[in-house]
Amino acid sequence: MSEEYDLVTIGAGSGGVRASRLAAGLYGAKVAVIELPFGFVSSDSVGGAGGTCVIRGCVPKKLMVYASEFAEQFHDAQGFGWAQVSPPVDVKKLIASKAKEVERLNGVYGQILSKAGVEVIEGRGVVLDPHTVEVRAADGSVRQLKTKRILVATGGRAVKPPIPGAELGITSDEALVLDNVPPGGTMIIVGAGYIAVEFAGIFNGLGYDTHLVVRGDLPLRGFDEECRQVVRDNMEKRGIHLHFHTNPTKLERNADGGIDFHFYDNGTQSGGIIKCAQAMFATGRAPNTRGIGLEARCGCGPGPEEPGHSGGRVPSIWAIGDCTNRMNLTPVALMEGKALVATLFGGKPSVPDYENVPTAVFCQPPLGTVGLTEPQAIERLAGQVDVYISKFKPMKNTLSGRDERTFMKMIVHVQTNRVVGCHMVSAVERKQRRRLAVRMNVLVAAAAAVVVVVVVAVAVGPDAAEIMQGLGIALKCHATKAQFDSCVGIHPSAAEEWVTMSTPARRVECKGKHAEPTGADSAGYKGD
């Protein structure tokens, strides 16, 4: 039996759900979404509504971050007069509580689709031709769907390095359900990206002997260089063992039931072995498009052919989210889904705007960033950039005794006075002196005027993500340094520092060709 749809979406992750429910609920399209049965660890037969973010990514990761931060808070409380306490953590209880919340959210996503009039079909979706998708259910039954358009929103999947014994290691999927490591056991994380540093903080906070193995000289390649150094220093101060210029070479099961982790240190030109309870690979993710028929039957790959759009070589097949390997962030997938359905069903041709996308790394303390890094600004822009830097001991740390400082960096294009980048690593939310305020004050100031400044800011601290969201709006409004300076700060707060930086740390000559920062006129979706 064949059925005709306006849109069939393969994948009920964040992007697929957003596009499907808007197409059906807002524009009246007949839509079906195909998703694999629910499970915590993904595979060719396991998925679930909500996708990576809800089931085995952002949401459960953040819950684990919260859990791991209590050890720090118990310690810091002593400086404020609280009695010393170090209660044990019940990891099995934590994982069970986390699982319950994830299962609830999985149900919520199914309800969202149903209420919007989307038909949810469980199984594996395979593209047979540009207008036919076959659904292969777990019970072996097969169903074919005829459709005008196909949307591929299958996300990504963690990959392991091709070394002997790699199958003994785990990925972030399994790490989020790991509850059998003995207290104080040794955990090794391989990788330098945000997943690696976040899980290093999680395992360390939960009391495990944590090692981070990094191929290069710093974690978080692609982020601001000075912020990367601050993150490294904070990890070392918190007791995480950092192994730079080091590659894994082999994993072996040992007689104790653990793992012998073999490595080679390129710095010392020598190898070694670390005995551990478990090794986690955070060595990258790849588009989850294998075996769904794109290359074999349609002659198209997983990603879009036209930069900034979600279409490929076949006019009826579209792709959004991590399966495009374009900008792998949940909010970006949501943006792409919204723009796509506005184009296809709303008569509003829309292109996602990838300029000034704020993001955060939930290391401990966390890092927040929006806009250009200093090297990017130098490479792209003409003229000069002023670099403003602020480092200070947060007010909380004056009594807690914690040896961590907040770091903030703003990049301003001199010729236009535009703020082009903001980066922050912040230990706590308050500081000792009047410093930094952004939040809604900067947003109002930026939105109220014609902006001619590009700023880059980076922050690390419990509020880094919250602050960066506000700064992201300011940069979208093309805020200038003068407008930041005119904003009254919130005192005492860390955020007020963003509006009180008066003297640049340095002025740097640029090498690029752009006389003005990009993003002055967004061609993206403007709303309903």
Q: Tell me, what's the pLDDT at 463?
A: 78
**What pLDDT is recorded for position 461?**
44
Q: Which residues lie across from 247 on neighbouring strands?
A: 264
Per domain, the residue ranges of the chain are: 7-155+288-346, 159-284, 359-434+441-509
Residue in 75, 241, 245, 491 annotated catalytic:
491
What 3-state class would DSSP assign to 319?
Answer: strand
**What local confidence, expressed as pLDDT, does residue 462 receive?**
60
pLDDT at 297: 52
Task: Choose which CATH entry (3.40.640.10, 3.40.50.300, 3.50.50.60, 3.30.2350.10) describes domain 7-155+288-346.
Answer: 3.50.50.60
Q: From the annotation, which residues make up the binding site for FAD?
A: 62, 125, 322
Q: Which of 345, 401, 424, 411 is nearest to 378 (CA)?
A: 411
* Residue count (the chain): 528
User: Per-residue DSSP letters for 267-285?
Assistant: TTTEEEEEEESEEEE-S-E
- Asked, colleague to colleague, whether 7-155+288-346 and 359-434+441-509 share their fold, the answer is no
Closest CA to 203 of 159, 231, 238: 238
The DSSP symbol for 341 reads: H
Question: Which CATH number is 359-434+441-509's, of 3.30.420.40, 1.10.3720.10, 3.40.50.2020, 3.30.390.30?
Answer: 3.30.390.30
Annotated binding residues, written as ranges, equal 62, 125, 191-198, 284, 322
Query: What DSSP letter does each residue of 58-112 carry, written as one string?
Result: HHHHHHHHHHHHHHHHHHHHGGGTPPP--PPP-HHHHHHHHHHHHHHHHHHHHHH
Whether 491 is catalytic is yes
Out of 3.40.1180.10, 3.40.50.2000, 3.50.50.60, 3.40.50.1820, which CATH number does the structure's domain 159-284 have? 3.50.50.60
Instruction: Look at residues 351, 353, 354, 348 and name the one whose alpha carbon lies nearest to residue 309.
Output: 351
**Residue burial 350-359, b: 16+ Cβ < 10 Å; e: rest:** bbbbeebbbb
Q: Give the containing element (helix H, strand E) for 14.
A: helix 14-25
Binding-site residues for NAD(+): 191-198, 284
Instruction: Please tell me what DSSP assigns to residue 32.
Output: E
pLDDT at residue 296, rounded to an integer: 52
With a threshold of 0.85, does the pTM exceed it? Answer: yes
- Note down pLDDT in tens along the chain; length 528 residues: 456 999 999 999 999 999 999 999 999 999 999 999 999 999 999 999 999 999 999 999 999 999 999 999 999 999 999 999 999 999 999 999 999 999 999 999 999 999 999 999 999 999 999 999 999 999 999 999 999 999 999 999 999 999 999 999 999 999 999 999 999 999 999 999 999 999 999 999 999 999 999 999 999 999 999 999 999 999 999 999 999 999 999 999 999 999 999 999 999 999 999 999 999 999 999 999 999 998 755 544 444 444 445 677 899 999 999 999 999 999 999 999 999 999 999 999 999 999 999 999 999 999 999 999 999 999 999 999 999 999 998 888 999 999 999 999 999 999 999 999 999 998 755 444 433 333 334 333 444 333 333 334 444 446 788 999 999 999 999 999 999 999 999 999 889 999 999 999 999 999 999 999 975 433 333 333
